[in-house]
Structure 1
Amino acid sequence: MKKIIKNGTVVTAADTYFGDILIDDGVIVMIGVDLDAEDAEVVDASGCYVFPGGVDPHTHLDMPFGGTVTKDDFETGTIAAAYGGTTTIIDFCLTSKDAPLSKAVETWHAKSKGKAVIDYGFHLMIGDVNDDVLFELPQIIEEEGITSLKVFMAYKNVLQADDGTLFKTLLMAKEHGSLVMVHAENGDVIAYLIDKALEEGNTEPVYHALTRPPVLEGEATGRAANLTELADSQLYVVHVTCAEAVMKIAEARNKGLRVYGETCPQYLMLDQSYLEKPDFEGAKYVWSPPLREKWNQDVLWDALLNGQLQTVGSDQCSFDFKGQKELGLNDFSKIPNGGPMIEDRFSILYSEGAHKGRISLNKFVDVISTASAKLFGLFPKKGTIAIGSDADIVIFDPHAQRTISAETHHMNVDYNAFEGMQITGEPVSVLVRGEFIIRDKQFVGTPGYGQYLHRKRFNQPGKLPIKDKTAGGVF
């Protein structure tokens, strides 16, 4: 059915204007004023912003970790994402060194089939580069459209790859048009510090942060950037938390390197003191990299504003406090790493960013949607409101006031990391390819409606233009 969204203020990464949007067969076919079309449903967006749907480049749904599995799967996780204004996610396929890459892809297709209510794609973890990987990868990129590869520089003896694997992955990515993502922490030193802390009887959640100091995130980020320069490839640093890592990304971009950075709402709003909460409450805030001292928040906001960081992902990875986080009750290293973030990413960035004037409305759209769509081969199908783009649209009330709480969220987890936070602005209705998933704050979608996205190859050849040595180049 045709739809016309009328009387809203349309906001993209580039423009803000009053106008109507005509949708037909899931696609935006016309933008103008006083639009009319026979047999079209009229959707009144008076007093609201009309944003492109959020693109979350970093989720972990139905993922095994530390002897347990994340609470949110592709059904509950994508329903929560839709409530929060996200219409596209990219989830991580975890691979095993003793199994073909294709096996991981098949596994993640099985996890998501018939469950997702919004559109989704996959990143692919690379843990080793051998003849089998070199043979398989081009086929997976071409047939599956998985054009981003993840390398862990941490989680020694579990997920961590060595520098040789990272470098060979960067070379493969340059050859095949892929973007390499890194979890940038020095896993070898972290392993030593964890062992030392436990030997000394330090088992509380705060030692998760104290054994993963920011200098080790900065060191790994700089090392990855240097290898990217040597390979003449491209790099995306996930979940940046601290000044040390931002500085290394800015230095790389100032040199014209194709290096990009992501942060997350938890690092913009929470700090290391949350890990010190008594009665093991600090375990709720255990994820990696850990929360940092509060002053780093200003550095991250500034980095989003000036282009040193380009995107905000959720790093959704939910575990119940009761029964799952409690696995590390007497040993912080056994607390499952991760938190529930997928639902509140969009609204927190609006409330704390655009509403409070830290970033502009257009920058908000860029970091919450457009930049990720561009980097991960989805633009302009996703990430903008334009003729020919998918009608992934968020009708957003900028005046609504609400309090974040586990009692009202839609994630399948027993706590909310932002419990009690007062925010301004929330999605009223959310459409994916022209169909309502959320309508008047009620879920009206269908599990299985979400489509798997075959993504384009990374297409930003050459070096970045260097405009401002303080801004870390431009995106």
Structure 2
Amino acid sequence: MTTIIRGGTVVNADRAFRADVLCYGDKIVAVGENLEAPHSATVVDAGGQYVIPGGIDTHTHMNLPFMGTVTQDDFFSGTAAGLAGGTTTIMDFVIPAPKQSLMEAYHTWRGWAQKSAGDYTFHVAITWWDDSVHADMGTLVRQHGVNSFKHFMAYKNAIMADDETLVKSFRRSLELGAIPTVHAENGELVFQLQQDLLKRGMTGPSAHPLSRPPAVEAEAANRAIAIAGVLGTPVYIVHVSCAESLDAIARARANGQRVYGEALAGHLVIDDSVYQSKDLEYAAAHVMSPPFRGKHHQAALWHGLQSGNLHTTATDHCTFCAAQKAAGKDDFTKIPNGCGGVEDRMSVVWDAGVNSGKLTPSEFVRVTSANAAQIFNMYPRKGLIAVGSDADIVVWDPEGTRTISAKTQFAKGGFNVFEGRTVRGIPSTTLAAGNVVFQRGELMAEEGAGRYVERPAFAPVSAK
């Protein structure tokens, strides 16, 4: 199948230029002005619009069993919603239960992901440690294209990794040419603060941010960065939500450490006033970790993206319905943590970033796809409009508008944290693997069309 995108301005992370883009099968085969195409080719008119690489959401949780329930979005509905919003690749998480074989968990997630409509790849969490975990990490890197391992420094008595596990896993990642990633919150402090709040009778969602203040996140970020610094490994901090964590990243980078930071679209535009709502269902719907913060933290995160100390934007897409969130109606610690956003990230970041002058269109591409592709070794297959790259392409209408609402979204869950926000800058057409899968409001995603993306290891320190 041949598709040609005509008359647009191609925007990559390094430059923008007028060009047509010719796709054959799932690859881009030509980029240039006035390209010729077969009469049978599908023509996409991009006049007055930008042509950008498909978005990469570095942080999603589809079909996730968590806190006694399972997320509303599975791999089909979640990736389909992503395609509608211009995200063509998700990076999801395999999260083994404590003592569960990494390989067993990996194959379970691969099975669930068979129904994906868009491309997908995995980080694998290290939730415990013994010799089998050491061996499985090698198998995942060498045979299955996994080059990143996740570490939860929170969720005591569940999936939290202690310092011994962090050190051993970071060292093993370095040997294998993989990158460790961390959820930075001091799990012991969170647990103790939760118990203190409950004893004081604070059981509602307004207590959630009080149990996870910025200092709790900053301590863990500093600790993870220090461990990585001693061992000489790079480290990637997921969902950086506060100025103090950003400061830790900036200091380390100024000292020459390879530390990367991720910002969530929600943390960039939503503040902690949502937890004070008298509508407890509304407040509970916003419970995620780290929580939404005060407005000055949002300003800091934008500065991080502008300065290059934060590198990617994601969503932590993890949808639960009101009935699921109600499990914590008498105890906020039992509210399933998670919010949606995979469908809205690109437009929210464009509207709040590019339209305000905080980001240029090329910088937008950098933080929505190119940096992710480079950090996780998918570049130039992903994150670039160029000959040989995947034909994952978004025709972006900078003047198009949409009012975000749970009533019109494709994602499940029945709630949207961006509800009522009108964004200017939306995808008019999304191509995934060369196929038009979304066009002017119509979603044509196909279950099972998504491909698993193997990510080669970086040059390993040793071949042990």
TM class by smaller structure: over 0.9
- Match runs of 1:29-428 below 5 Å: 29-39=29-39, 40-113=41-114, 115-280=115-280, 281-321=282-322, 323-428=323-428
Structure 1 residue 444 displacement after superposition: 1.5
Unaligned segments of structure 1, at least 5 residues: 462-475
Distance in 2, Cα, partners of 1:43 & 1:423: 23
Distance in 1, Cα, partners of 2:34 & 2:441: 26
Unaligned segments of structure 2, at least 5 residues: none
Aligned partner letter, 1:332: F
Distance in 2, Cα, partners of 1:54 & 1:402: 18
Question: CA offsets per residue over residues 225-250 of structure 1, 9 Å max, x none?
Answer: 00001110010000000000000000
The corresponding residue for 1:471 is none
Contact 1:85–1:427 (Cα < 8 Å) also in 2: yes
Aligned partner letter, 2:290: P
Structure 1 residue 93 displacement after superposition: 0.3
Structure 1 residue 441 displacement after superposition: 2.3
Aligned residue for 2:397, secondary structure, equals strand
Distance in 2, Cα, partners of 1:85 & 1:153: 31
Question: CA offsets per residue over residues 409-467 of structure 1, 9 Å max, x none?
Answer: 11111111011111101111100111111123211221000001111213599xxxxxx
Aligned residues: 459
Distance in 2, Cα, partners of 1:458 & 1:339: 32
Distance in 1, Cα, partners of 2:103 & 2:371: 28
Structure 1 residue 98 displacement after superposition: 2.1
Structure 1 residue 279 displacement after superposition: 2.6
Distance in 2, Cα, partners of 1:83 & 1:458: 32
Contact 2:214–2:244 (Cα < 8 Å) also in 1: yes
Contact 1:62–1:111 (Cα < 8 Å) also in 2: yes
Structure 1 residue 129 displacement after superposition: 2.4
The corresponding residue for 2:457 is 457
Contact 2:98–2:159 (Cα < 8 Å) also in 1: no
Distance in 2, Cα, partners of 1:413 & 1:136: 34
Distance in 2, Cα, partners of 1:460 & 1:247: 29
Distance in 2, Cα, partners of 1:174 & 1:159: 22
Aligned residue for 1:324, secondary structure, equals helix
Distance in 1, Cα, partners of 2:64 & 2:389: 31
The corresponding residue for 1:5 is 5
Aligned residue for 2:365, secondary structure, equals helix
Aligned residue for 1:9, secondary structure, equals strand
Structure 1 residue 403 displacement after superposition: 1.0
Structure 1 residue 260 displacement after superposition: 0.4
Distance in 1, Cα, partners of 2:140 & 2:268: 35
Distance in 1, Cα, partners of 2:98 & 2:283: 33
Distance in 1, Cα, partners of 2:368 & 2:197: 38
Aligned residue for 2:220, secondary structure, equals helix
CA RMSD of aligned residues (A): 1.1
Structure 1 residue 344 displacement after superposition: 0.4
Contact 1:375–1:458 (Cα < 8 Å) also in 2: no
Poorly superposed stretches of 4+, deviation over 6 Å: none
Contact 2:50–2:396 (Cα < 8 Å) also in 1: yes
Contact 2:83–2:445 (Cα < 8 Å) also in 1: no
Distance in 2, Cα, partners of 1:72 & 1:241: 24
The corresponding residue for 1:466 is none
Aligned residue for 2:208, secondary structure, equals helix
Aligned residue for 2:75, secondary structure, equals coil
Distance in 1, Cα, partners of 2:128 & 2:231: 17
Contact 2:261–2:310 (Cα < 8 Å) also in 1: yes
Contact 1:392–1:431 (Cα < 8 Å) also in 2: yes
Contact 2:176–2:460 (Cα < 8 Å) also in 1: no
Aligned residue for 1:75, secondary structure, equals helix
Aligned residue for 1:379, secondary structure, equals coil
Contact 1:173–1:234 (Cα < 8 Å) also in 2: no
Contact 1:95–1:104 (Cα < 8 Å) also in 2: yes
Question: CA offsets per residue over residues 357-377 of structure 1, 9 Å max, x none?
Answer: 111111100000000011112
Aligned partner letter, 1:53: G
Contact 1:117–1:437 (Cα < 8 Å) also in 2: no
Structure 1 residue 44 displacement after superposition: 1.1
Contact 2:141–2:456 (Cα < 8 Å) also in 1: no
Distance 1:401 1:124, change over 3 A: same
Distance in 2, Cα, partners of 1:251 & 1:25: 45
Structure 1 residue 159 displacement after superposition: 1.1
Report the identity percentage.
42
Name the TM-score, length of structure 2 as normaliser: 0.97
